[in-house]
Structure 1
Amino acid sequence: MNQSSRELAPLTSNYWRRFWRSQHTKPPSFPKDLDLVGKVAIVTGSNTGLGFESSRQFLQLGLSRLIMAVRSMERGEEAAVKLRTLFPNATIDVWVLDMASYSSIQAFVSRVESQLPRLDIAILNAGVSRLAFAKNESTGHEETVQVNYLSTFLLAILLLPSLKKKSPPGVPGRLTVISSALANIAVLPDHSSASLLTTIDDPGKFGRGTYGNSKLLGHLFLWKLMDLDYVKSEDVVINLIEPGFLKGTEFNRDVKGGMVIGLKLFQALTARAVTDAGTTVVDASVVKGREAHGCYLADWEVRPFPPFLYTQEGRDTMDKLWGETMTEYGFANARGVLEEMKKG
């Protein structure tokens, strides 16, 4: 019987040894009968890098309609032209979505609800990795955590009803969120005397670990979402994936100066090709079945969550984060959306 991520024992082997092995693991072949004809997918951040490559692979498998959710309409259309040339029989639309803006997320979801008669797959790929502290002016939160955690999981919650209702009867919608193995070694700042989100928003707490922390928050949230049984696998299969450390993307575009040389050397030694990484997205969202619900996947396999989640401190932090996050999402009635999902 397949075990979920929560049922697996946490990994205790050396992280960097696992990282090296992971980066050199080759993707398996897709099932020969894998066919996405008739299906509709949303991919955020799809104008470049992993989002673009995942979109290309979906279309290659026969995806009938792609919604490219991007911040810049101009850059989105430039990418869409390339895909339309390769796949002239598919419908490829570019919709604006700014993951730094709650109002943009709500407007995007409203458009999904009113304009998409069908929705099978949503890939939440858009993310940032800031090298210096930046505050989101509309929310007051640190920008990396805002985009990678708060905005991403708000979008995830708000898309759940459409994924449930607009997928064919008897076939669950699929929701895959791009995560990072850095969540396994992330260490959250001390938040014993304040709220967790307030602590993270402190410029003095910002550092190289902030990106990993933003991904760890997503793991904590998903575990709690499963604990509360808000989303059933027969309605929507939701999971997190680690695509690997990549080359051929713009994700590290903020890196400047001498750091560029070090990054390029590290990529030359270890980085996974974006074409291989794209298969992790396809695998998690259309190859894996309901056994991947509520799971974290890496190297095309279900893996345990970060070790922190299996500790008492981790469970306490999980509860604290859930409460703060639901309060944050109060304006969007996220709790009400989840309650409706739970009713079936």
Structure 2
Amino acid sequence: MVGSKDLKPSNTPFFPNVFFYNQFRAKPQWPASNTNLSGKTAIITGGNTGLGYEAATQLLGLKLSHLVLAVRSLERGKTAAEQLLRTHPNATVDVWQLDMCSYDSIQGFTRRVDAELSRIDMVLLNAGLFKLDFAIVSSTGHNETLQVNYLSTMLLAILLLPTLKKKSSQEEPAHLTIVSAALTLNAKFPNRDANPLLPSFDDPKTFDPSEHYNSSKLLGHMFLWSLVDYVSADDVIVNLADPAWVKGTDIARDVKGGMKVGLKLFSLLGRTKQVGASCFIDALVNKGKESHGCFLMSWKIHPFNAYLYTPEGQAAIQRVWDETLTELEFAGVRAILDSMKA
């Protein structure tokens, strides 16, 4: 199989060219008309609003039997579940609490998944944020963008792997799709030479909203590069999916003033939520083992940021891997990964 890291780096010389093709020329790949997810179970983080909610709608439209919405606010999650059940009354929709700013909440959630779900077929790690202002998560000491978009997402992914391997169907491995962004291809990664690397995101003097967001997503690509050395596509298919620029989501809910007006105008160019979320459904339903370890953009396997293919990028990948496992070692992540590789 040829994955993203086996491809040649993109030679498109100007990122807006990449954006234009991805945004306006790529054609959606919808599931086949006879796709039937009856009997299957899915988890969506941040599934009560925006693209997560739309992805939930599309999975239930494919006759998904059991959906777990993993949300920070149980009240808003229950409201979303009620809305989903009005149009899909035969499904089971549960609402479980998950705070991506809390390592304790993430560990408790994954223990509940293992204890209460007899089957799990697909997980969409959709929860993410774009913060205009610098903020530190008090319980971890990390910048909130880094915490939610990268560290907590990778911890949740690792902790779910053994359960996904154990409780998927015998016919096919479970799918784990992490929401990414085409902007990773344009990430400048200005703190790439910091040593140690991850704490450099926690310095308010270097905070840049756009670059912190882009780089936080790029870290996910770097981690996946190494993760697939431990996880077989026969056990769990892990991939990244970009929805492109989508109008009507809450990703920039903290933006204010003139920037908010600019974003609203720019949103006129955005995809609909239906088309944006179809990228996730494609990754979860249409794509198979060939997508393991891949970045999916424009409904196709796409190369990573060109920096990752350089000697400097390879060294950075190893640093990110080592520092991340050290940060998350309290949860036994090394042992979990070793068990997946065995």
The TM-score with structure 2 as length reference comes to 0.97
Residue identity opposite 2:62 in structure 1: L
Q: CA deviation at 1:194?
A: 2.2
Q: Counterparts of 1:165 and 1:3 in 2: how far apart (Å)?
A: 26
CA contact (8 A) 1:40 1:120 kept: yes
Q: Counterparts of 1:193 and 1:74 in 2: how far apart (Å)?
A: 41
Poorly superposed stretches of 4+, deviation over 4 Å: none
Question: Could you list the per-position Cα deviations for residues 150-174 of structure 1 after superposition, in whole angstroms to 9, with x for gaps in the alignment?
Answer: 0001000000011111011241010
Q: CA deviation at 1:185?
A: 1.3
Aligned partner of 1:326 in structure 2 is 325
CA contact (8 A) 2:192 2:316 kept: no
CA contact (8 A) 1:26 1:276 kept: no
Could you tell me the percent identity over the aligned residues? Answer: 50
Secondary structure of 2:328's counterpart equals: helix
Secondary structure of 1:254's counterpart equals: coil
Matched, 1:252 2:276: no
CA contact (8 A) 1:189 1:199 kept: no
Of residues 12-21 and 325-334 in structure 1, the stretch that sits farther from structure 2 once superposed is 12-21
Secondary structure of 2:69's counterpart equals: strand
Aligned partner of 2:312 in structure 1 is 313
Q: CA deviation at 1:127?
A: 0.4
Q: Counterparts of 1:260 and 1:94 in 2: how far apart (Å)?
A: 31
Secondary structure of 1:246's counterpart equals: coil
Residue identity opposite 2:11 in structure 1: T
Q: Counterparts of 2:266 and 2:69 in 1: how far apart (Å)?
A: 31
Residue identity opposite 1:18 in structure 2: V
Question: May I ask how many residue pairs the two structures share in their alignment?
Answer: 339
CA contact (8 A) 1:189 1:200 kept: no
Q: CA deviation at 1:28?
A: 2.7
Matched, 1:72 2:73: yes
Residue identity opposite 2:107 in structure 1: Q
Q: Counterparts of 2:155 and 2:171 in 1: how far apart (Å)?
A: 26
Of residues 94-103 and 12-21 in structure 1, the stretch that sits farther from structure 2 once superposed is 12-21
Aligned partner of 1:266 in structure 2 is 266
Aligned partner of 2:215 in structure 1 is 213
Gaps of 5+ in 2: none
Of residues 15-24 and 139-148 in structure 1, the stretch that sits farther from structure 2 once superposed is 15-24
Q: CA deviation at 1:193?
A: 5.3
CA contact (8 A) 1:42 1:69 kept: yes
Question: Could you list the per-position Cα deviations for residues 209-257 of structure 1 after superposition, in whole angstroms to 9, with x for gaps in the alignment?
Answer: 100000000000000112xx21000100000011111102111111111
Aligned partner of 1:178 in structure 2 is 179
Q: Counterparts of 2:272 and 2:260 in 1: how far apart (Å)?
A: 18
Aligned partner of 1:240 in structure 2 is 240
Of residues 187-196 and 241-250 in structure 1, the stretch that sits farther from structure 2 once superposed is 187-196
Aligned partner of 1:29 in structure 2 is 30
Matched, 1:86 2:76: no
1:128-147 correspondence runs (5 A):
128-147=129-148
Q: CA deviation at 1:267?
A: 1.1
Matched, 1:295 2:265: no
1:218-233 correspondence runs (5 A):
218-226=220-228, 229-233=229-233
Aligned partner of 2:7 in structure 1 is 8
Q: Counterparts of 2:64 and 2:191 in 1: how far apart (Å)?
A: 46
Q: CA deviation at 1:272?
A: 0.9
Q: Counterparts of 1:21 and 1:325 in 2: how far apart (Å)?
A: 34
Secondary structure of 2:79's counterpart equals: helix
Question: Could you list the per-position Cα deviations for residues 75-114 of structure 1 after superposition, in whole angstroms to 9, with x for gaps in the alignment?
Answer: 0001111001010000000000000100000000010010
Q: Counterparts of 1:107 and 1:4 in 2: how far apart (Å)?
A: 33
1:42-57 correspondence runs (5 A):
42-57=43-58
Aligned partner of 1:187 in structure 2 is 188
Gaps of 5+ in 1: none
Residue identity opposite 1:9 in structure 2: K
CA contact (8 A) 1:221 1:322 kept: yes
Q: Counterparts of 1:177 and 1:74 in 2: how far apart (Å)?
A: 25
Secondary structure of 2:93's counterpart equals: strand
Q: Counterparts of 2:21 and 2:190 in 1: how far apart (Å)?
A: 29
Q: Counterparts of 1:48 and 1:169 in 2: how far apart (Å)?
A: 32
Of residues 27-36 and 201-210 in structure 1, the stretch that sits farther from structure 2 once superposed is 27-36
